[in-house]
Amino acid sequence: VLFHFPNVLKTEFNEKYSGLDWRESEADLRAWREGRTGFPIVDAGMRQLRATGFMHNRLRMIVAMFLTKDLRVYWMSGESHFMQHLTDGEIANNNGGWQWSAGTGADAAPYFRIQNPWTQGKRFDPAGEYIRKFVPELRDVPPEKLHAPPPDGRALVSDYEPPMVDHAEARKRTLAMFQAAR
């Protein structure tokens, strides 16, 4: 794709989605980069990236969809961050992965595919071992609480952030953003 369409480095492959109403929030982007979103699986992935320069592909999808579809932050911000930190970063693969996750690329995840970080954590880290390795402040939290939004919207433990968004509400806003572009 990059060879035939080099413009993907500067804009969306699917031109229909150029100019989407992405949010500009340096605070949200910083919290995501630092693994301080209040979503355990997202935070574990982002902290692993900072600590090791690596992240499993499943986590790359989870954190990318969280940034683009829960926070609605422009995918190029995440793409750039990954290229600065991944030891295995490769521009064509990175760009394609980010556009796939954002729903703007070639053979992209449909815009309405919005992974739920709570259920993704439960499915791929049911015992919470991965989360606890990279988010040690959650070491004493039972797995069932790691994989569900706190009922009161508060932090899981006192030294951890509360979820920065309500996933269900964020999903609705993202669907509306894409519908407006269609």
Which residues touch 90 (CB under 8 Å, ≥6 apart)?
Answer: none
Mean pLDDT score, 46-71: 97
Encode pLDDT of 24-35 as tens digits. 999 999 999 999
The predicted pLDDT at position 64 comes to 97
Q: Which pLDDT band holds residue 108 (cuts at 50, 70, 90)?
A: low
Q: What is the DSSP string of 145-176?
A: HHTS--TTS--SSTTSPPPSS-HHHHHHHHHH
Percentage above 90 pLDDT, the chain:
82
Q: Are 96 and 159 in contact (CB under 8 A)?
A: no
Q: Which pLDDT band holds residue 81 (cuts at 50, 70, 90)?
A: very high
Encode pLDDT of 124-167 as tens digits. 999 999 999 999 999 999 999 999 999 888 999 999 999 999 99
